[in-house]
């Protein structure tokens, strides 16, 4: 375990002192540096033993280029990154996601965020992971944080007899994050943590909002609204 700095310890204490009963965390960019969903998407399309058929891979590359050009909405692209796996066995996709996360993302976990979640769970706080990244990557990730599957709200599709379908259950992005939270909780989270504009609505619904590792647009909003802003030290990240 990485030794925490005084600043990291101070941040953890600032949250624990609020004694939250419910906390909601965005994942990519908030719990670790980088975007695990985008990274896995690019990585899986380059695998020699493809997960998805070649024609789906070609479509996905073209579709993603359109998304980057602003021609496909964020929530639509996030949903399609899940539904493109239709027809595959879920256990196969999950296994590949587990391997990818351990290798490519876990070393970039912010240790204070991992410690914070551990301390919150020990205190009895109900901790939720809310992400527009595909459900399998987030499940892989939450094993490192001790968050069970029934506390994950990610981009999810229906599974039938172990086979992935293209029927979306949810895509928690932007307004979709509060919508997903309200579907499982009777009241708003005491604390919420996010890094991007797509977390704005989730942060706004909480009693105490924390912009963690914020993108410039979210940082501007956070400062204007008086939300707490915290910048992890990338030099102290590590998944061990």
> What's the pLDDT tens digit per position in 158-182?
999 999 999 999 999 999 999 999 9
**Mean pLDDT score of the chain:** 94
| Tokens at 130, concatenated | 């809310």
**235 has pLDDT over 80:** no
Q: Is the pLDDT of residue 238 over 70?
A: no
* pLDDT confidence tier of residue 187, bands split at 50, 70 and 90: very high
Q: Is 16 exposed, middle or buried (0-12, 13-18, 19+ CB in 10 A)?
A: middle
Please say if the pLDDT value at position 236 is more than 60: no
Burial of 234 (0-12, 13-18, 19+ CB in 10 A): exposed
Identify the band that residue 47 occupies on the pLDDT scale cut at 50, 70 and 90: confident
pLDDT at position 213 over 50: yes
Closest C-alpha to 40, from 90, 89, 103, 88: 103
How high is the pLDDT of residue 234?
64
pLDDT at 46: 85
Please, which pLDDT band fits residue 3 given cuts at 50, 70 and 90? confident
pLDDT of residue 2: 67
Q: Which domains does the chain have, with CATH numbers?
A: 6-236 (3.40.50.1000)
Res 50: pLDDT: 78
Nearest to 111 by CA among 233, 238, 5, 213: 238
With a pLDDT cut of 70, the percent of the chain lying above it is 95
CA dist 84 and 202 (Å) reads: 27
Look at residue 240 in the predicted model and tell me its pLDDT: 46
Determine the Cα–Cα distance for residues 200 and 177; give it in Å rounded to an integer. Answer: 9
Residue range 127-143: average pLDDT? 97
pLDDT digits (tens, 9 = 90+) for 141-161: 999 999 999 999 999 999 999
| Residue 184, token pair as written in the block | 């499982």
pLDDT of amino acid 100? 95
pLDDT tens-place string over residues 66-119: 999 999 999 999 999 999 999 999 999 999 999 999 999 999 999 999 999 999
For residue 215, give the H/E element and its range: none
DSSP 102: I
Q: What is the pTM of this model?
A: 0.93
Distance of CA 196 to the CA centre of its chain: 11
């Amino acid at each position: 375990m990485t030794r925490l700095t005084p600043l990291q310890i101070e941040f953890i204490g600032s949250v624990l002192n609020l004694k939250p009963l419910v906390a909601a965390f965005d994942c990519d960019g908030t719990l670790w540096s980088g975007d695990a969903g985008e990274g896995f998407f690019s990585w899986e399309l380059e695998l020699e033993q493809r997960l998805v058929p070649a024609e789906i891979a070609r479509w996905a590359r073209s579709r993603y280029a359109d998304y980057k050009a602003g021609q496909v909405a964020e929530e639509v692209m996030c949903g399609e990154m899940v539904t493109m796996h239709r027809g595959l066995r879920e256990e196969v996709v999950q296994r590949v996601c587990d391997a990818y996360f351990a290798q490519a993302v876990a070393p970039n976990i912010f240790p204070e965020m991992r410690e914070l979640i551990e301390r919150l769970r020990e205190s009895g706080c109900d901790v939720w992971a809310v992400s527009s990244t595909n459900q399998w990557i987030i499940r892989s990730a939450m094993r490192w944080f001790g968050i069970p599957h029934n506390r994950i709200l990610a981009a999810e599709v229906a599974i039938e007899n172990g086979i992935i379908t293209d029927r979306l259950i949810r895509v928690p992005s932007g307004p979709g994050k509060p919508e997903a939270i309200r579907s499982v909780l009777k009241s708003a989270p005491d604390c919420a943590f996010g890094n991007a504009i797509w977390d704005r609505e989730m942060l706004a619904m909480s009693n105490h909002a924390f912009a963690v590792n914020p993108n410039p647009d979210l940082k501007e909003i956070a400062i204007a609204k008086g939300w707490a802003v915290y910048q992890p030290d990338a030099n102290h990240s590590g998944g061990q």
